[in-house]
């Protein structure tokens, strides 16, 4: 991890699932973008708060953890498609045996990880099964 500025800069997006919406073509972006990939200079982006519901596109159970995530292993990492369209990478909490492609999930606010050197704890969005 070890990047406090990089993390705090995007707190609004991380805490509230805030992305952007292009008023020109209608596409939604999360993580937020400053330039629409379809319209580029002709696009008009406004901020947009996602509902936080979606489904698992694909996932994996990570046994060899990333730096800063050692005490969470094994953990489920997934690509989730939000109902408004965009996809993001996040952890899904819950019984890994029950995870499956197409599973409905909803966002929750949780500890993400910690920085070994500074002892910083990072919070943000994770997902849980929608029926939990």
Partner 1 sequence: MRDVAIIGVKNTKFGELWERSLRDIVVEAGIGAIEDTSVSGKDIDALYVGNMSGGRFIDQEHIGALIADYSGLSRNLHVPATRVEAACASGGLALRQAIMSVASGYSDIVVAAGAEKMTDVGSEEAASALAAAADREWEGMAGATFPGLYAMIAKLHMHKYGTTSEQLAEVAVKNHKNGYFNPIAQYKNKITVDDVLNSIMVADPLHIFDCSPITDGASALVLAPADVAHKYTDTPIYIKATAQASDTIALHDRRDITTLDATVVAAKRAYSMAKLKPEDIDLVEVHDCFTIAEICAIEDLGFAEKGKGGIVTENGETAIGGRIPVNTSGGLKACGHPVGATGIKQAVEIVTQLRGDAGKRQVAGAKYGMTHNVGGSGATAVIHIFSRER
Smallest gap from residue 41 Cβ to partner 1 (A): 19
Considering only residues 20, 90, 103, 105, which one is a binding residue for partner 1 as defined by CB under 8 A?
A: 90
Considering only residues 1, 17, 22, 105, which one is a binding residue for Zn ion as defined by CB under 5 A?
A: 22
Place of tokens 């920085």: 115
Q: Which does 17 bind (CB under 5 to 8 A by kind): partner 1, Zn ion, none?
A: none
Q: What is the CA radius of gyration of the chain?
A: 16
Q: Which residues make beta-bridge pairs with 92?
A: 76, 127
Place of tokens 């953990």: 75
Smallest gap from residue 94 Cβ to partner 1 (A): 15
Q: Which does 39 bind (CB under 5 to 8 A by kind): partner 1, Zn ion, none?
A: Zn ion
Phi, psi of 97 (to 5 degrees): -65, -25
């Amino acid at each position: 991890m070890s990047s406090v500025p990089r993390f705090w800069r995007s707190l609004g997006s991380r805490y509230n699932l805030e992305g952007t919406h292009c008023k020109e073509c209608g596409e939604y972006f999360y993580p937020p973008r400053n330039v629409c990939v379809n319209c580029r200079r002709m696009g008009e982006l406004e901020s947009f708060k996602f509902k936080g519901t979606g489904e698992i596109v694909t996932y994996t159970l990570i046994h060899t953890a990333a730096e800063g995530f050692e005490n969470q292993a094994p953990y489920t990492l997934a690509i989730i498609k939000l109902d408004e369209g965009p996809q993001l990478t996040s952890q899904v909490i819950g019984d890994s045996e029950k995870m499956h492609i197409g599973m409905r999930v909803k966002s929750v606010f949780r500890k993400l990880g910690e920085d070994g050197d500074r002892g910083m704890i990072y919070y943000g969005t994770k997902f849980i099964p929608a029926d939990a």
